Structure 1
Amino acid sequence: MALNEVNRPVRKVFTTRAGGVSLSPYRSFNLGDHVGDDPAAVATNRARLAESIGLPERNLVWMEQVHSNTVTVVDAPRENPVPATDALVTTSRRLALAVLVADCVPVLLSDHHNGVVAAVHAGRMGARNGIVERTVAQMVELGAEAARIHVLMGAAASGKNYEVPKAMADDVESRLPGSRTRTSQGTWGIDVRAGLIRQLLSLGVTAIDSDPRCTIADEDFFSYRREGKTGRQAGLVWLP
C-alpha cells in the first residue's frame, strides 16, 4: 500500500542505503545527485522513492545544501533543487520536502494542526549557526505553534564516534549547548542531536523523537566519515 493511502495527518520518511540500483561505492539506494554517481542510477532511485511514497516525482523538492543557516519557504514543485539553502518550509499539501545526509542530522518538523512542515539539513556548521532555531521561527511565522510542533531526527553521526579537535567542540558548544561530548575513545566529540534536543526544548518544542542509530557505525547507512566517497540517504516530510 502506498503511504498516501494511509489516513495520517502528516508523513515523515527516512531511507537507508538499501533498495536501489547504484553501484559501489554508492551502493545501492543513493539519492544524491552531486556525489559522482551515475545520473541515470540516481534518477532511477528517485523515481523509485517517489513511487514508494505515492507522490509524483515532481512533488519531491530537493535542496542545494551548503551547510548554511538559510531557510526557504516553498509553495509549489521545483524543477531544480532550491539553491543555497539548508531548510525548507511549506504549507502546501502533497509537496514532499527532502533532505540529503551522510552523517549530518536530517530533521523533519511538523505542526499538522496548523498545516506547516519543514525539512532541515543540520550539519555541524548549520546546527551551530542556528538552522533549526531559524526553521522553527519560520514555521511559527507561517502559523505553527511551538507547542504543537513534532520533531523527528534521523540516523546521524553519534557523539561516541564523531571525533573533533577540542577547539571545534568548544566552539560548537558555545553556540549549541549540550553538543560537546567525549567519544568512546575518550577524545573530544560532538553530538549534534543532543545539542538540537536541548535547543528545541528551550524553544518550547517538546514532542521530539530521535533515531539513536549512528551512521558512522551502522553500515545500513551512507557515512561520509566512514567511507569518504559515498552516497546519500534522505528524509522527507509532507502534508497529504
Structure 2
Amino acid sequence: MSSEAAPLLTLIHPGWSAPANIRAVCTTRAGGVSQPPWASLNLGGHVGDELGHVRKNRMILADACGLQPGAFGWLSQVHGTNVADLSVGDITGIPEADASFTRAIGRACVILTADCLPVILCDRNGTTVASAHAGWRSLCSGVLENLVASMGLPGNTLMAWLGPAIGPKAFEVGPEVRAAFIAQDPQATTAFSPLGVREGHYMADIYSLARLRLEALGVENISGGDFCTVADSHRFYSYRRDGQTGRMATVIWKT
C-alpha cells in the first residue's frame, strides 16, 4: 500500500424530496485505499483489486453512513432482472440479482456501477427503499418493472433518483440496442440520436430511457440524471473509458 495519504472521502447526496427517515449516498472514486488502476475507493470485489483493499474501502463506506458493515445488501449483478428482498432474515450470502428492496430499518440496498445507471427509489411515506442496477440490458429487460412490482406499492406513491451513469454524449450503441427498446416502447426513439457517431450507430440517453420506464409505471417524481461517468474522470470510475477500473456504490436505507 502506498505511504501517501488517501484522498478525502467524497460522497454525492441525492437532491430529491425523500422523507426525513430516508438516507442515500453515492460514492465517488475518492477516499479509499485502492491503488491504480482502481484508485481509490473501489468497492467492487470482482474487478481484480486486492480484496483487503476492497474490505477496507467497504469499512470506510460503512463508517461514513453510520451503518454496520453487515447492513449492506451486496448483490452479484449479472445485468438481469432478479430482485432480492432484504426485509427479513439476516443479510448473508450474495444473491444473484440486479435490484433489491427492504422495509427494514438500518438495512442498505446497494448497487455497484462504473457506467451503468444506478436507480434508487422510496415511497413518500418512507416505508420502503429500493435500488436497481439499470444498465441497458437490465433496463430493457424490465428490472425497474420487476422492482416496482416486488415493492408492492403504487407507482404514483414512489420517487426515484438517477445516479451517475454514462452520459448521452458518450454512450454509442449499435442498432440492435435501439431496436430492442423501441420494440417495447415506440417513445424510446426520442432517446437515440444518429448525430456524431459511426454509420448505423446511435448515441443513447440512458437517463431518458429510465425516465420513460419509470413514468410508464406511474412514477412522476424523478430526480437526478445529470452526470456522465465517462467525462468526469476525477470523480467517477468508467469501464468504457478505462477498461480495468473500480466500482462506485449507490446506497439507500431507512432510519
Aligned with 1:15 (options 6, 11, 27): 27
1:110 and 2:160 are equivalent in the alignment: no
Aligned with 2:243 (options 205, 223, 228): 228
1:89-126 Cα shifts (integer Å, max 9, x gaps): 11111101110000000000001515111110011110
The Cα shift of 1:173 comes to 2.9
**2:21 touches 2:126 (CA, 8 Å); kept in 1?**
no
The Cα shift of 1:183 comes to 6.4
Q: 1:178 aligns to what?
A: 188
Q: Please show how residues 5-44 of structure 1 align to structure 2 within 5 Å.
A: 8-44=20-56
Q: 2:83 aligns to what?
A: 71
- Report how many aligned residue pairs link the two structures: 231
Q: 1:155 aligns to what?
A: 164
1:121-179 Cα shifts (integer Å, max 9, x gaps): 0111100001011111111x2xx332221101101011221111123222233235426
Q: 1:55 aligns to what?
A: 67
Aligned with 2:206 (options 192, 201, 213): 192
Change in CA separation of 1:11 and 1:207 when aligned onto 2, cut-off 3 Å: same
Q: 2:103 aligns to what?
A: 91
| Distance in 1, Cα, partners of 2:196 & 2:249 | 29
* SS of the residue 1:12 aligns to: strand
Q: Which sections of structure 2, spanning at least 5 residues, go unmatched? A: 1-12, 14-18
Structure 2 letter corresponding to 1:233: M
Change in CA separation of 1:202 and 1:172 when aligned onto 2, cut-off 3 Å: closer
* SS of the residue 2:188 aligns to: coil
What value does the CA root-mean-square deviation take over the aligned residues?
1.8
Bigger mean CA deviation after superposition, 86-95 or 184-193:
184-193
Q: What is the TM-score with the length of structure 1 in the denominator?
A: 0.90
| Distance in 1, Cα, partners of 2:51 & 2:194 | 37
Q: 2:5 aligns to what?
A: none
| Distance in 2, Cα, partners of 1:28 & 1:137 | 36
| Distance in 2, Cα, partners of 1:118 & 1:204 | 16
% identical equivalent positions? 34
1:24-71 Cα shifts (integer Å, max 9, x gaps): 000000000110100010000000000001011111111000000111
**1:112 touches 1:239 (CA, 8 Å); kept in 2?**
no
Bigger mean CA deviation after superposition, 165-174 or 28-37:
165-174
Structure 2 letter corresponding to 1:17: R
**1:111 touches 1:145 (CA, 8 Å); kept in 2?**
no
| Distance in 2, Cα, partners of 1:190 & 1:175 | 16
**1:161 touches 1:184 (CA, 8 Å); kept in 2?**
no
Aligned with 2:93 (options 80, 100, 113): 80
Structure 1 letter corresponding to 2:49: D
**2:114 touches 2:239 (CA, 8 Å); kept in 1?**
yes
Q: Which sections of structure 1, spanning at least 5 residues, go unmatched? A: none
Q: 1:237 aligns to what?
A: 252
Q: 2:4 aligns to what?
A: none
The Cα shift of 1:211 comes to 3.3
Structure 2 letter corresponding to 1:63: L
Structure 2 letter corresponding to 1:100: L
| Distance in 1, Cα, partners of 2:34 & 2:48 | 11
Q: What is the TM-score with the length of structure 2 in the denominator?
A: 0.85
The Cα shift of 1:200 comes to 1.0
Structure 1 letter corresponding to 2:46: H
The Cα shift of 1:184 comes to 6.1
**1:164 touches 1:188 (CA, 8 Å); kept in 2?**
yes
**1:160 touches 1:183 (CA, 8 Å); kept in 2?**
no
